[in-house]
Structure 1
Amino acid sequence: MNDRRTAPAAPAEPDAGPHEESGEIRRFRERLGLPGLIDVHTHFMPERVLHKVWNYFDTNGPLIGDLQWPIAYRKEEAERTALLREFGVRSFTAMLYPHKPGMAAWLNTWAADFARRTPDCLHTATLFPEPGVETYVRAAVEAGARVFKAHVQVGGYDPAGELLDRTWGLLADAGIPVVIHCGSGPAPGKHTGPGPIARVLARHPRLRLIVAHMGMPEYEEFLGLAERYEEVRLDTTMAFTDFTERFMPFPPRALPRVAALGGRVLLGSDFPNIPYSYMHQLHALERLELGEEWLRAVCHDNAARLFLL
């Protein structure tokens, strides 16, 4: 296996036009015999909220530090959805998240409408530890939400706190996956790392957590949680790319464990909020040299099975 830390740096912006990049992604899919890609970690949210997120990246907010993070796909909503379709992404998500109380319920209202007008987007919802969280999460589940997003780093909350305990149980019973940013990258938070989420899983072992970013930088600890709990999965968002390898490299010794968990690793990209081309994430997975069967499972089959697509 190659040590990806020696790979040349990826361009900060896509080095090809969208149509040229689409052709490259199509050839990638054809090599693997895939009907399309399923990306479990893409961001759609109200435009004014997304623009605030972009401004946070542009101005190197505290959770970004001194990283230079130009947004590669800074486009309007309709252009972004069209581009994902052109890339052959047959299903994607609308990862959105509150940073304070009082946001989650109205974000869920927006996301339900987005899902209605965007049939290839998995109906996404979110949550925050606040009074009433169980009520609006239950309402989202009953409205057809198929995946939730939780962001421990941005929200600054303890996922094992009392306010969320019954909600985790609700989601575990419903079998609805939760994509959760709980690792300490790109900057640690008060409640990031494997400890808090391990306490959640000890109480709710059937909870379908998808650990975002492979749990970076605590990759091995989160692999350990996936090995212990059969409903824990990991998404590849930004992992293994040249950008991330420069400051939070994945330990090559852990690659056999990633291969062994191939049925529970899912493609994620962070589109559109990435500082390189979409194709680079796919190249980063391909050059792990874990085999075409593993790559097919990660890029399509695992998510298709999880979400019954």
Structure 2
Amino acid sequence: MISVAKYESKIDVSAISAVDVHVHIEMDDEGHKPMPEVFYEASAKYFKSEDRTPSIDKIAETYRELGMAAVVFTLDARTQFDGHLPNSIDDLVAGALRNNDVLLPFGSVDPRNGDAAIEEAKRQADELGVRGFKFHPSVQGFDPSDRQFYPLWEALEDIGLPILSHTGQNGMGAGLPGGAGIKLGYSNPLLLDEVAADFPHLPIIMAHPSVPWQDEANSIATHKANVYIDLSGWSPKYFPESLVRQSNNVLKHKVLFGTDYPLIPPTKWMAAFEDLPIKDEVRPLILKDNAVKLLGLDQEAAA
């Protein structure tokens, strides 16, 4: 394992126009990917994406040129994938540190790894300086409301960093027989509602418009002060009408800009977002201000 200096953010909040809270790093410095190749082939076809594995430095330059910042992460699903390890979290943090004017690293652990997952989460937070944790219940093969995972949520609540958890439809395994074993039900946002209720000081970002459970997601984000929605994984032109309507009103402080890059390029997402009937005073909240507050970037700027 390489020696990595602890991440510190140098993001100048006043110099950026947006914070993309959902960007994948799909390959480390050794060329290792976090999932078997079949998932890349299926997801590239599903999203019609061209480059599925840009380097972290290329990603940083993309956002630097756009005047944006981005949250970057990988996914640890080693149990579900029969021991296939994620790409290196340490490499990811080192890359984010090289580009800490635009990148903010999240960590990831496999909840099915028991006590080892808790210890690794603590290491990533304390030694590497990750700023949150990424989960994908369907790909990792776990029910987030299952009590066996509560020690992990308790530890993450104590650490004090947000989690970003996939909800809704899934491009991973799409079109493959049996969806390659990926079970959509684990990504029902109502499972995260139980976690949010039992760990009220754990900030939870529900990733993506939660089709086919959008009304459930809207209700949870409205009801739970610690729950947010990111808008990644879908072109804004396909957003459910209820999500657009409530983003303009009761959810205007709970919705976050996200793309799912490299699956959806930020320029493509932004062009479609321009056509949504979002109020002028709400757009900057969604694109930047809500994420700046949730991620503590405003506190760092003040310091």
TM-score interval, smaller chain? 0.7 to 0.9
For the pair 1:220 / 2:215, whether they are aligned, the reply is yes
Give the CA deviation at 1:169.
Answer: 1.6
Give the CA deviation at 1:80.
Answer: 2.5
**Equivalent residue number for residue 201 of structure 1:** 196
**What pairs up with 1:233-244 in 2 under 5 angstroms?**
233-242=228-237
TM-score, normalized by length of structure 1? 0.75
Give the CA deviation at 1:193.
Answer: 0.7
The equivalent position to 1:273 in structure 2, one of 235, 247, 263, is: 263
Give a deviation string over 1:266-293, Cα, whole Å, max 9, x none: 110111122xx42231133232222121
Equivalent residues of 2:74, 2:86 under 8 A apart: no
SS in 2 for 1:42: strand
**Equivalent residue number for residue 109 of structure 1:** 90
For the pair 1:121 / 2:103, whether they are aligned, the reply is yes
Higher relative contact order (CA closer than 8 Å, sequence separation 6+): 1
Which letter maps to 1:97?
L
Q: 1:46, 1:240 → 2: CA distance? A: 24
Give the CA deviation at 1:100.
Answer: 2.0
Which letter maps to 2:149?
L
TM-score, normalized by length of structure 2? 0.77
SS in 2 for 1:125: coil
**Equivalent residue number for residue 172 of structure 1:** 157
**Equivalent residue number for residue 292 of structure 1:** 280
Moved more, 97-106 or 152-161: 97-106
Change (3 A) 1:69 1:139: same
Equivalent residues of 1:133, 1:164 under 8 A apart: no
Equivalent residues of 2:73, 2:92 under 8 A apart: no
Give the CA deviation at 1:221.
Answer: 0.5
Change (3 A) 1:292 1:50: farther
SS in 2 for 1:40: strand
Give the CA deviation at 1:158.
Answer: 1.2
Give the CA deviation at 1:136.
Answer: 0.9
Give the CA deviation at 1:127.
Answer: 1.6
SS in 1 for 2:21: coil
**Equivalent residue number for residue 291 of structure 2:** 303
Identify unmatched segments of 5+ residues in structure 2. 1-13, 175-182, 298-303
**Equivalent residue number for residue 87 of structure 1:** 66
**Equivalent residue number for residue 39 of structure 2:** 56
Q: Matched residue pairs, number? A: 264
Q: 2:37, 2:260 → 1: CA distance? A: 13
Q: 2:245, 2:167 → 1: CA distance? A: 23
Equivalent residues of 1:226, 1:233 under 8 A apart: yes
**Equivalent residue number for residue 123 of structure 2:** 139
SS in 2 for 1:263: coil
Q: 1:83, 1:211 → 2: CA distance? A: 25
Q: 1:278, 1:83 → 2: CA distance? A: 9
Which letter maps to 1:128?
D
Identify unmatched segments of 5+ residues in structure 1. 1-32
Moved more, 136-145 or 111-120: 111-120
Q: 1:118, 1:74 → 2: CA distance? A: 18
Which letter maps to 1:98?
D
